[in-house]
Amino acid sequence: MSPFRRLARVHALMASGDAVMAVALADSLFLSISPDVARDKVLQFLAISFIPFAVVAPLIGPFIDTMRGGRRMVIGIAALLRVALAVAMIGRVDDLVLFPLAFAALVLQKTYAVSKSALVPTVVRNEEELVEANSKLGLLSGLMGAAVAVPAVVMQRWVGSDATLTLNAVVFGLALFAAARLPREAVALRPVAALERLELSSPSIVLGAAAMMALRAAVGFVFFHLAFWLRSQDSGTIWFGLALTVSVLATMGGNILAPLLRRHLPVELLLMGALGLVALGAFGVAFAGGVRAAVALAALTNLAAAVGRLAFEAVVQRDAPDANRGRAFATFEVRFQLAWVVAGLAPVLISFSDTLGPLVVALLAGLTLVHYLRGQRVVRRGLALGPSNLDRLKRLRTRSRGGRATGREHRPPPESAAPEGW
């Protein structure tokens, strides 16, 4: 089995486990508790979430990346802890202790996302397959989540949440065994070199990262805004469940659409289009109002974030040919997850109306789009790096051609390394 298929199998199981847990918590105290009490609990979770993404990850990330099998170890630990959390939740779905357990599960979900981003470049045959591989993984997670949700709902309805959580533990247990077969290559054998540092700080990548952070921030803001605002509406829990469903479908659509658009449009235009879609869509939702428009906003932001992510990966692939992809994507993913957390703080601390919430999203996306357009104008003029840095970049690239010439570590490809499908 190719390394990509092994990662795809782990990703499918982790996504399935997330879907089963969402079903198991659908009727729990986690969603039925009053919004005022929930705000305090969610605020505590977001504060705790800062620790792994703002402090721990930047410190231990470089060490894990240089360790043989380091990222595989992190994924295995995350799966093992998800098993333990699922077991700990059994019999406690109506207990306040469910909150720290559910929040810990969400932190582990984000931790897995960072490690998965680092592993993807190591399991593809060449750089051209990188964006396609991420698109396949995104689509696969949506399909598996939808497929496993059906039996989980049946089990939840006719047997109960304890049985669903048991299924959840089994799924993550399978993910743990599947993770043991992931490739053991180190994500990055060498420390960050001057060339890699200079390439990853190039204006096109910095602008792309800023656009992606804004898109991920919009997703985080909308998620928590709807989680609290919809609860105040009639059948609020049902509407929130529908918002989550259409968000998954929109993400799947973005993963299908982005590679097709990339064949015909520049990646910069994809990033601008994603920001423009969120800005215009959020403004329209604020004008229209109502729960249906709010659900549509969830779909728009997740669709745009999926397209923007694949476009950003293409920018890094194009403009940082000598950077280590795994290390770079893990670093950027930490920043994106942190943006999701920070943006989620606002609707937890402040109650936004169905008009003001979308206007905040529209303003965020609109200002980021203006910043991106102005930055692109500077890039086109060739003034962004400055003559001295441009000369230095050319010298470093010329020198590097005597060593490695790609963003992956110079090592023989593993057997059957091509992603020949799922």
Whether 59 maps to a domain, the answer reads yes
Dist. CA 104–CA 296, nearest whole Å: 29
- Is residue 245 located within the same domain as residue 386? yes
Which position has the higher pLDDT, 230 or 296?
Answer: 296
Decide if 411 is inside a domain: no
pLDDT for 11: 94
Cα(299)–Cα(171) distance, integer angstroms: 27
Of 186, 207, 236, at which residue does a domain stop?
A: 186
Identify whether 421 is part of a domain.
no
**Environment class of 175 (CB within 10 Å of its CB; exposed 0-12, middle 13-18, buried 19+):** buried
More confident of the two residues 152 and 73: 73
60 domain residue, yes or no: yes
Confidence at 390, pLDDT banded by 50, 70, 90: low
Say yes or no: 135 and 216 in one domain.
no
Mean pLDDT of the chain: 81
Query: What pLDDT is attached to residue 79?
Result: 95
pLDDT tens-digit series, residues 171-220: 999 999 999 999 887 787 777 777 777 888 888 899 999 999 999 999 99
Residues 6+ apart with CB under 8 A from 202: 319, 320, 384, 385, 393
| Coil, helix or strand at residue 258 | helix
Q: Are 313 and 174 in contact (CB under 8 A)?
A: no
CA 392/CA 388 separation, integer angstroms? 6
Q: Using 50, 70 and 90 to split pLDDT, how confident is the model at 382?
A: low
- The verdict on residue 418 lying in a domain is no
Instruction: Say whether both 396 and 267 belong to one domain.
Output: yes
Residue 227's region, left for phi above 0, alpha for psi from -120 to 50, else beta, is alpha
Look up the domain containing 84 and give its range. Answer: 1-186
Tell me: do 112 and 236 sit in the same domain: no
What local confidence, expressed as pLDDT, does residue 73 receive?
Answer: 92
Evaluate the CA torsion angle 306, 310, 315, 316 in order and state its sign: positive
- Does one domain contain both 334 and 260? yes
State residue 151 phi and psi, 5-degree precision.
-65, -30
Residues 179 and 223 in one domain: no
Question: Can you give the pLDDT at residue 282?
Answer: 95
Range picked from 154-168, 349-363, 407-421 for highest mean pLDDT:
349-363
Predicted confidence at residue 236, as pLDDT, reads 62
Is residue 403 pLDDT above 70, yes or no? no
Token output for 391: 């000369």
Same structural domain, 267 and 180: no
Number of compact structural domains in the chain: 2
3-state SS assignment for residue 384: coil
Whether 316 shows a pLDDT value over 70: the answer reads yes
Per DSSP, the residues of 159-226 read: T-HHHHHHHHHHHHHHHHHHHTTS----S-SSPPPHHHHHHHTSHHHHHHHHHHHHHHHHHHHHHHHH
* pLDDT at residue 412, rounded to an integer: 36
Same domain, residue pair 168 and 199? no
User: Which amino acid makes up residue 46?
Assistant: L
Non-local CB neighbours of 287 within 8 Å, separated by 6+ positions: none
Pull the structure tokens for residue 407.
Answer: 């963003």
- The pLDDT, as a whole number, for residue 350 is 85
The pTM (predicted TM-score) of the whole model is 0.80
Residue 383 confidence (pLDDT): 56
Specify whether 115 is located in the same domain as 215: no
Domain edge (last residue) among 125, 152, 186: 186
